[in-house]
Amino acid sequence: MKRKTYRIAVIPGDGIGPEVIEAALEVLEATGVNFSFQHCEAGDGCFAKHGAALPEETLKHALESDAVLFGAAGDTAADVILRLRRELNTFVNLRPVWALPDVPCLYPKTKLVIVRENTECLYRGIESEITPGVVTATRVITQKASECIARFAFEYAQANEFHKVTAVHKANVLKKSDGLFLSSVRAVAKNFPKIIYDEALVDAVAMHLVMQPERFQVIVTTNLFGDILSDLAAGLIGGLGLCPSANLGEHHALFEPVHGTAPDIAGENIANPTAAILCGAMMLRHLGEMASAQQIESALEETIAMGQTTPDLRGTLSTMKMAQTVIEQMKAR
């Protein structure tokens, strides 16, 4: 029986994006899964070249693909990744924060997941200048989006053997917007009686994450809070270079490392490819290729345990050499 060929839109973007995405693609190809990669342009360089940060052709390929693999965008990020999330209707931003074995970090046993609502809040970009020197930003929270993200969080917890979901908010100040978010999550929580549900203020969560991250398993929250907390949580396990993410909707999926363009090391071939490689593994799981995803994750852990890493993890390898070492470990299994 002929295996399916997955159509993947590849958008390397700016800075270290092309370097880490190239590394991830080599690892994906080594799994033996059939891919058809469509390389697309977007980001600062694309804007300088074509006058558009996200060309319609790139968007077309993203919409027609089985998944999108995205690197990073610089100053044009709002025009690229935010629009991609919106056009693909990926209402979930899933950010696992799992400590990898043998990585120097603050909390080596950390295993939590941040489920971030991806379509509204302040990231809708509704801003107005009332008068010179006075600007407002409109925060949009809806019952529908809040219920959708809550349902995903509880279903994810249930499917992945987590037994606790925490809704993070600031309803003591944002009484109407976060009040609506909380009432929506509470309504969904009633359908999952076997999962412990609690609520916590975002500022308190920031403190507890750096003191007792084991208090949390699945965090569900609004767009801005999720963005901030996921970067904070990355610091617990060794940094952004280790953190993948998925943008998921009913019909589309986009995978991107949490780190940005890292312009200070762009072009030096020393960027840590771990997050991008893990994005590839997340993509494989989304496509139903579980064994191949596990193959990548195990080989990556073995590579790190051997100390065969980039300089940020105290190793001496280049970006591509680390990826090639992961491939060698995959073949040795």
Write out the two tokens for 70: 């995205």
The upper half-sphere exposure of residue 62, i.e. CA atoms within 13 Å in the direction of its Cβ, equals 28
CB-based contact 40:54 (threshold 8 Å): no
123, 156, 178, 321: which one is catalytic? 123
Most distant CA pair in the chain, distance: 67
pLDDT number for residue 300: 97
As a whole number of angstroms, the distance between CA 196 and CA 35 comes to: 40
Residue 198: active-site member: no
Residue with tokens 């270290």: 16
Tokens of 239: 């940094």
Tell me whether residue 123 is one of the annotated catalytic residues.
Answer: yes
Q: Are 195 and 249 in contact (CB under 8 A)?
A: no
Please indicate whether residue 75 is annotated as part of the active site.
no
Among the listed residues 66, 164, 170, 312, the single catalytic one is 170
Mean pLDDT by 10 residues, the chain (333 residues): 88 97 98 97 95 96 98 94 93 96 90 96 93 97 97 97 97 97 98 98 97 97 97 94 96 95 93 97 97 97 95 94 97 84
> What pLDDT score was predicted for residue 1?
60
Could you confirm whether 203 is annotated as catalytic? Answer: yes
SS (H, E, C) the chain: CCCCEEEEEEEEECCCHHHHHHHHHHHHHHCCCEEEEEECCCCHHHHHHHCCCCCHHHHHHHHHCCEEEEEECCCCHHHHHHHHHHHCCCCEEEEEEECCCCCCCCCCCCEEEEEEECCCEEEEEEEEEEECCEEEEEEECCHHHHHHHHHHHHHHHHHCCCCEEEEEECCCCCCCHHHHHHHHHHHHHCCCCCCEEEEEEHHHHHHHHHHCHHHCCEEEECHHHHHHHHHHHHHHHCCHHHCEEEEECCCCEEEEECCCCCCCCCCCCCCCCHHHHHHHHHHHHHCCCHHHHHHHHHHHHHHHHCCCCCHHHCCCCCHHHHHHHHHHHHHHC
pLDDT at site 266: 93
Which residue carries 């060309």 as its tokens?
55
Is residue 140 packed enough to be buried (19+ CB in 10 Å), middle (13-18) or exposed (0-12)?
A: middle
CA torsion 128-130-131-135 (nearest 10°) is -50
Query: Do β-strands 92-98 and 111-117 pair in parallel, antiparallel, or remain unpaired?
Result: antiparallel
Written as one letter, the residue type at 89 is N
Among candidate residues 66, 79, 102, 231, the one labeled active-site is 231
Beta bridge partners of 257: 244
Is 227 one of the annotated active-site residues of the chain? Answer: yes
Question: Which residue among 14, 44, 178, 227 is the active-site one?
Answer: 227
Structural domains in the chain, sorted by start = 1-105+242-333 (3.40.718.10), 106-237 (3.40.718.10)
State how far the Cα of 278 lies from the Cα of 245, in Å rounded to an integer. Answer: 9
Tokens of 85: 């999330």
Contact between 103 and 121 (Cβ < 8 Å): no
Structure tokens at 116: 């971030």
